Structure 1
Amino acid sequence: MKALLVDDEQHVRHAIQLLGNWEELGIDILLEAADGHEAIEAITAHQPEIILSDMRMPGKDGMALLEWISAHNPHSKVIVISGYDDFELVRHAIRHGGMDYLLKPVEAEELNASLLKAVKAWMDEETSRTESARQSIVVNRMRPHYQDRLLTELAIGRGSRSAHIQRLQEELNLPCHIPACSVAVTSLSHLDADCLAKYRSQPDLLIFSVLNVCAEMLSTPAEGVSFHQLNQPDEIVLLHWGSQSSLEHILGTINDGLEQTIQRRLHFGISSCQNYPDGISAAYLEASSTLWRRNILLTRQRIHATTETTSRNKGKRLTSFEESMRIAAMSCRAASVSAAVAEWLDPFTELEAISAEQLQLWIQELEWMLDRWLEDREHTTVHEEESDEEQEPPLTELPFDSEGLLSFSLLRSLLEHRLLAAGKAITAQHHTDPDPMTEIARYMDAHYQEDLSLQQIAARFYLSREYISRKFKQQFGLNWSEYLGKLRINNAKLLLHNPSLRVAAISEMVGFQDEKYFSKVFKKIEGITPAEYRKTVIHTGT
């Protein structure tokens, strides 16, 4: 902390230096000035926290100095030390921020008490200023997110109440009267992988760049606003207080700006003009649907005002080829995987229209299918089998080219890559389990009371049902259903020794949902009914 001593008499400055407990008060730098002019130079250069000043000095005196300090350096704490007991001087000192008015010759105790008060006041105010600055920084950082949240709730239909609209108008300085609104929606997932790769480590930079261009072209809140749709991290939405045609013109200029900024143009879905604010959520859904139902095969236009495809295309779903793809993946042969992918994908290459919505559905089906294959594994997933460079990106990547159109070669490569990775993960598990039939038997021993099926077991152990049926019987002399039935009946026999348990309860406890079927299976294996077996064990005491 610094202190400045201002007095035209050097011996007075020297005496004050000797009297003050500077180090105890945390003041480690003492500056001097002989008049108001020198003081202003020292204050400007060093910004002292504490200033001790005489009032009567040649040139710029103490009165003028206090006026300058209160205007240009108001955070400093000023103590006046004067040889004049003058009411006007005291009043002037107080009016311009002086904390104390000490008379010469000043006593050490009096001086240090004033210094302590000044230092404490400065430190308290500095703490308050620091906290206020910190809060301002937090508010400034959070304000864009807060604005995005308000606009997101408006778009999804949760913010149509008058209080919400009032907050929007105050926060964004929106016009008081907005008769109608058109909505535009774009998704960064419609950009190609090369463009997204540039922002993989900084996805927020891409979002900021797009929003910044949108804000420039909308010019003022009186024309419209753009925001990040927080419920859809890849999505940017524009609200325009005007017609659909004027919105199309704005989007054209936005794409010109994006061409220069990120070297790409985005696809936008736009809505018809709707009432504000009640029609915003319907307009948002219309614009989003228009974007996702655009034809991603042939249409090179970037602004989509009408739905270009139906919601579904004719053709088999990806999951209908699950078994053949799983077997091909487990072979770990690229040729087998390519053939399985081609069997499903090739018919779609003959179509004239495919929607972005359909492509997204295929990718979701792929992820669901692979996750289901690997859901029971404790340590490894498909993503973990891949290298660090191939981890899932922060922004969704779809197989689009630089024009935002579907690339069948990229889609084919994506499917083949993911299936081969899954196959590698599955077969790696099998190498650690050289005797899968024993593992299946152990699993059945632990889960016999559950509703088991051969299909469930095949899916869990990544083997075909036919293979399990054949190998299980070779190894255990029973097929899997006979083994399961015998396992359940053996456990039922133990429970029948307890006379307090009803036969129906025992049936459910060992995995039978129907008591009659339980009795039928029991009699087939043991030659008697459960009730007869219970009488036998109770009578014999065994």
Structure 2
Amino acid sequence: MKVLIVDDEMHVREGIKLLGAWNQNGIKEIYEAGNGEEAISFIQKYSPEIIFSDMKMPKMDGTQLLEWIKGNQPTSKTIVVTGYDDYHYMRKAIHFGSSDYLLKPIDPEILNQTLKKAVEEWKIEEADRKKKESSHQLINEMKPVYRDRKLTQLLNSESINEDLYEEFGFQLSGNYTVALVRITGKTIEAFQGDRDLTYYTILNVINEILMDNNCGIGFRYLSNKGEIVIIFWDKYETIEELLERIYKTLKNVMDISCPIAIGNLVNKSCKLIDSYQHAKQVLLNSNTLDETESKVYKQEVLQTNALRNLFVYSSNIELALQAGEIEAFEELIQQISTDYTENNYLSLKQLLHFENEYQVISNRWFKHYNFPVKGSNDIEKRVNLFFDQIGRFKLEEYKERIKREISIFLKKLKRRSLQKNSNIIFDIGKYLQANFDRDVKLQEISDHFYISREYISRKFKQEFNVNISDYLVNIRMEKAKSLLKNSQLKIYEIANIIGYQDDKYFRKVFKKVVGVTPNEYRAEFIN
């Protein structure tokens, strides 16, 4: 805290400085002034919390100084110091809000009691000021939220007294028009992802222009994400011009494109929702491929273009999936793109509809192959990524993303197929091990595992480095060796057990594979 001592006598100032318990009261800085004019200069520069002031001084006396302090530095606590025990001075001091009154010569105990009391009062008042300031700030912060909530209710025709809206400038009128401003995820990215700051800033621009013309008010429409609504109650002939100005201001100052659509004129506030719905349809009908600089749209009569359906291409999509190569999709994607952008027109509504159906079909195929379904379900968020700085849809980049997503899916599908086929080959190996004692034909394996004989032969050789017949012979020979070592069975009996009806043929095969005859092999283990 800071203290200013004002007195034309230096010894009085020195006495107060010497006697005051400054540290105990949190006083860190002490300034001196010889008259009221000097005091004002110190007050303006340092804003002291406590001011001791003499009443009789040259140039500007204490009464004039107290009056100036009351008008210019009312938060400071003043303590009058005078050598005159005069009710006149005391009355003036009280009138101008002095905290207390000290008589010369100054009593140290009374001085410090007075100082302590003034400091405590200042602290209490400062805490109250901060509390009020915080409340005022909160109220100011809440005003836009309150405005948005109330005007959203008005637009939705809830039964609320229209007089309530006068506090934020809404005016009653015989006619109204609604305009709709679209706020996309790309717009919010321009504000480092701060959604509240986005709306606050854009609405400040909108309402500043509207207030200058006293014809409308903008607010965040809380019933739908990504929308600012403007209600016009006057100057309908200049609405397009004002909205063009709003659009260009946002574009030039913040480098963001916020498409705007104008609704039809209605004659009652309860019909505002009708004008809003009209504006919404105008916005949805807007051409996303439009290259014009301004994105302010108006349609007296709404277009009713039928939406194309992606499910019409389901059989083509299935054929491309069976081919398993992205090249099979490229022609299909180009065909769909051509169909959807006839006459270089692709409405926002059609684009959102396409993205929704694309997600449905994609998820269906993911589930069909038991792949985890990933990606955002926020259709608008996925689409908004592909609008450039002037609000034009980047169709080619969008198509490239779809190709990448399909390519990733096809790669997953190939890995799944390879893994599955590899497992099937090992299952065939197990099947041969279980049926080694009979003549298993390739056709039997093909019928059992629903795979072509050619594929089985090729993949089996790749996995086991031998063909199926040799694999079966090796199993039989291993079984024969085990029986020769661990049983007293005759050679022909062993031949029958492992699938050979002709023991001579068995002996021949055994000798070829093992290198010795069955009898010689058995003799090695008997000895």
1:84 Cα deviation from its structure 2 partner: 1.5
Map Cα deviations across residues 387-424 of structure 1 (whole Å, 9 max, x no partner). xxxx9997961645666555542432232233345566
SS of residue in 2 equivalent to 1:78: strand
Whichever residue aligns with residue 304 of structure 2, its letter is: T
1:401-420 correspondence to structure 2 within 5 Å: 404=391, 407-420=394-407
CA distance in 2, matches of 1:52, 1:318: 90
Matches within 5 A, 1:443-482: none
SS state at 2:80 partner:
strand
Whole-Å separation in 2 of the counterparts to 1:399 and 1:242 = 36
The correspondence of residues 243-282 of structure 1 with structure 2, limited to 5 A, is 245-258=237-250, 260-262=252-254, 267-282=259-274
Amino acid at match of 1:58: P
Unaligned stretches of 5+ residues in structure 1: 384-390, 438-468, 472-542
Kept in 1, the 8 Å contact 2:155–2:270? The answer is no
CA pair 434-110 structure 1, distance change in 2 beyond 3 A:
farther
Q: Is the 8 Å Cα contact of residues 36 and 61 (structure 1) preserved in structure 2?
A: yes
What is the match of residue 502 of structure 1? none
Contact 1:36 1:59 in 2 (8 A): yes
CA distance in structure 2 between the partners assigned to 1:151 and 1:198 by the alignment: 26
Equivalent residue, structure 1, for 2:160: 161
Distance 2:421 2:34 in 1: 94
**What does 1:133-532 correspond to in 2, within 5 Å?**
133-158=133-158, 160-162=159-161, 165-170=162-167, 172-175=168-171, 177-189=172-184, 201=193, 207=199, 210-220=202-212, 222-242=214-234, 245-258=237-250, 260-262=252-254, 267-296=259-288, 302-306=296-300, 309-310=303-304, 312-317=306-311, 320=314, 324=318, 327=321, 334-339=326-331, 341-342=333-334, 344-350=336-342, 354-370=346-362, 381-382=374-375, 397=384, 399-400=386-387, 404=391, 407-421=394-408
Distance 1:408 1:49 in 2: 66
SS for the counterpart of 2:173 is: coil
2:50 alignment counterpart: 50
Shift of 1:128: 1.6
Distance 2:124 2:371 in 1: 56
Equivalence for 1:5: 5
Report Cα offsets for 1:73-117 as digits up to 9, x if no partner: 111101122221111111111111111112223322221111111
Cα offset for 1:50? 0.6
Flag the 1:381–1:104 CA change in 2: closer, same or farther, 3 A: same
Unaligned 5+ runs, structure 2: 425-448, 452-527
1:134-182 deviation line (CA, Å, top 9, x unaligned): 2333333332233223223322334x521xx222211x2233x311101
The range that moved more, 139-148 or 362-371, is 362-371
Letter in structure 2 aligned against 1:303? Y
- Partners of 1:280 and 1:103 lie apart in 2 by 72
- Secondary structure of the residue aligned to 1:185 is strand
CA 1:424–1:3: 2 relative to 1, 3 Å: farther
Shift of 1:340: 5.2
Per-residue deviation, 1:319: 8.9
Query: Structure 1 residue 14 and structure 2 residue 11: aligned?
Result: no
The one-letter code of the counterpart of 2:340 is: F
For 1:89, the aligned partner's letter is Y
Residue 305 of structure 1: how far off its partner (Å): 1.7
In the aligned structure 2, how far is the partner of 1:275 from the partner of 1:240? 12
Separation of aligned partners in 1, 2:280 and 2:183 = 13
The normalised TM-score by structure 2 is 0.67
Is this contact kept in 2: 1:82–1:102, CA < 8 A?
Answer: yes
Structure 1 counterpart SS, 2:4: strand
- Contact conserved, 1:78 with 1:98, CA < 8 A, in 2? yes
Please say if residues 320 and 328 of structure 2, whose CA atoms lie closer than 8 Å, have aligned partners that are also in contact: no
Residues 161, 339 of structure 1: CA spacing in aligned structure 2 closer, same or farther, 3 A cutoff?
same
Equivalences for 1:71-90 in 2 at 5 Å?
A: 71-90=71-90
Q: 1:289 to 1:59 in 2, by over 3 A?
A: same
Q: CA deviation at 1:247?
A: 2.3
Q: 1:382 to 1:435 in 2, by over 3 A?
A: farther
Give the 3 Å change call, closer, same or farther, for CA 39–392 of structure 1 in structure 2: farther
Q: Does 1:125 align with 2:125?
A: yes
Please say if residues 310 and 354 of structure 2, whose CA atoms lie closer than 8 Å, have aligned partners that are also in contact. Answer: no
